[in-house]
Each structure stands twice: as C-alpha cells, then as structure tokens.
Amino acid sequence: MEERGIGRPSTYAPTIGTLLGRYYVERKQSRLFPTTLGLTLSDLLTEYFPGVMNLDFTAGMEEELDAVSRGERGWVPMLGEFYGPFRDALDNATESMPRVRLEEETDEVCDDCTKPMVIKIGRFGRFMSCTGYPDCKGTKPILNKIGVVCPDCGGDLVERRARGRGGRPFWGCSRYPNCEFIMNRKPVPNPCPECGKLMVQMNRNTVACTSCSWQESSGADGASEPAGTSQAEELVGVGD
C-alpha cells in the first residue's frame, strides 16, 4: 500500500482489520491470503466500478483530499466530479451485476437430518447451513477444531475469539454449553510425559503441563500464533 501511494500509515491496520473481519482475506502462518469471497467480490467490483477500483483512483483521491485540506481545492466541485460517474456505475451495477452465491463444502453433517452442511455467509458472519435448506433449517456455528481432545469430556477442543474489541483467542470445548472446559492458552496435542494431563503453549518456545510443573521446549511447528498475550495470566471470563 505504501509503495503504491494508497492509504496512510494510520489506515493500514484498520484496512487489513476490515479485510479480515469481512473474510475477504484470511491469515495463514502470519501471511494474508485472499478468500474465494474476496476474489469474487474483487472481480465483480473491478468489472462494474473500473473508475473506482484501481490504484490510480485511490492515490489520486488522497492527493485531492490533501489539496482540499491545504485549502487549494474546493471540496464541492471535487465531490461533484467523483459522484456523477460513480452514481452511473452504481445504477448500472444495481441493474446488471449477477447475484453470486458462495458456499463452501464441509465434512460436517446436519444434526437434524444428517445431510451435509455448507458454509454460508450471513449478516452476522460465516455459519454452517444444512444443504437441505429450506426444508431443513439446521445451522451450526463454524468450529475451528485444533486437533486436541477435551480432557473433561473427550469432545473436540475449538479455538474461539472473545467478542468485542481485542478479540483475544481462547480455547473451549465443542460441546459447550454441555461442557464448560476453557483455556486462555492454546492446548497442544501431546499429553504431559510426567502425568499424562493436558499441556498448553505458554509462549512461542515453551509448552507446559496444566496439572504438574512439567515444561519443555516446543517443536519448530509449535506456536502458530505470536505470543502476544502477556497480560492474560489468569483465566478471563469470556462470554459467548
């Protein structure tokens, strides 16, 4: 963004936050990748809003805004030049842009009718919906399984994110609310070699037992998340 003269240092982080929040991109090993949704949306917008969806427009707009803020350019004529063509493009898109349905297959089945479930994107984000819809209205939240078994009930442990600002990750049981197991550090698949209980990732390099004092350095692949949770010493009550 900096290279192309778009955005401002203060807008880089919020821009990336919006892209992640709307699931236009996803983070894998601390790099960003576009999702199918993001690619489809970008293709459609580029086709229907060629004047706006290009880097020259964004960079040019920011130069014009700077000119306005320096008092060299009136904002009314500037907006007028932008809005006329934009309104035409918007009218055209409203009429002829195709309505795209994006569904991702999953290996989950519906609890109600055992048909396979697909991931859909609704107003409140991504969720799993039964392929029997509209006959079956079964839905499930998307569970981010981490491949570790719940020490309390044998269910799958899943990664969740606290609501609201911060959005700190925490780990709970997929059988919540029936099982209320919760951890604010990431559980690891290998049990403690001393006592056989659950171990968690303490920081990038260390895993520790949740029951005894055993600690060991974790393998190269151990921590996928940066250890930026220094104040999260105690288990915080994270409502869902």
Residue/partner pairs of 157-160 with CB below 8 Å, 24 or more apart = 157/181, 157/183, 157/187, 159/186, 160/238, 160/240
Q: Of 50-58, 71-79, 92-100, 115-123, which part binds Zn ion (CB under 5 A)?
A: 115-123
| CB 179, CB 155: distance < 8 Å | yes
- Which of 6, 37, 130, 158 lies at the binding interface for Zn ion (CB under 5 A)? 130
Any contact of residue 191 with Zn ion (CB under 5 A)?
Answer: no
Nearer to Zn ion, 80 or 196 (CB): 196
- Which of 148, 188, 209, 223 lies at the binding interface for Zn ion (CB under 5 A)? 209
Any contact of residue 150 with Zn ion (CB under 5 A)?
Answer: yes
In the complex, minimum distance from the CB of residue 152 to Zn ion, in angstroms, rounded to a whole number: 4
Q: Of 77-85, 141-149, 202-210, 217-225, which part binds Zn ion (CB under 5 A)?
A: 202-210
CB burial of residue 202 (10 Å; 0-12, 13-18, 19+): middle
Any contact of residue 195 with Zn ion (CB under 5 A)?
Answer: yes
Any contact of residue 112 with Zn ion (CB under 5 A)?
Answer: yes
- Which of 49, 170, 171, 181 lies at the binding interface for Zn ion (CB under 5 A)? 181
Binding marks (x or -) toward Zn ion, 68..107, rule CB under 5 A?
A: ----------------------------------------
Nearer to Zn ion, 177 or 237 (CB): 177
Any contact of residue 111 with Zn ion (CB under 5 A)?
Answer: no
Ramachandran area for residue 19 (φ above 0: left; ψ -120 to 50: alpha; else beta): alpha
Any contact of residue 136 with Zn ion (CB under 5 A)?
Answer: yes
- Show the CA angle centred on residue 108, arms to residues 104 and 113, nearest 5°: 110
- Which of 13, 32, 39, 212 lies at the binding interface for Zn ion (CB under 5 A)? 212
Looking at residue 98, the DSSP 8-state letter turns out to be P
Torsion of Cα atoms, 211 then 217 then 218 then 220, to 10°: 180
- For tokens 């130069």, the residue is 63
In 3D space, the residue among 145, 143, 154 whose CA is nearest the CA of residue 181 turns out to be 154
| Per-residue tokens: 123 | 């107003």
Looking at residue 226, the DSSP 8-state letter turns out to be -
Binding positions for Zn ion, rule: CB under 5 A:
110, 112-113, 115, 130, 132, 136, 138, 150, 152-153, 155, 173, 175, 179, 181, 192, 194-195, 197, 209, 211-212, 214
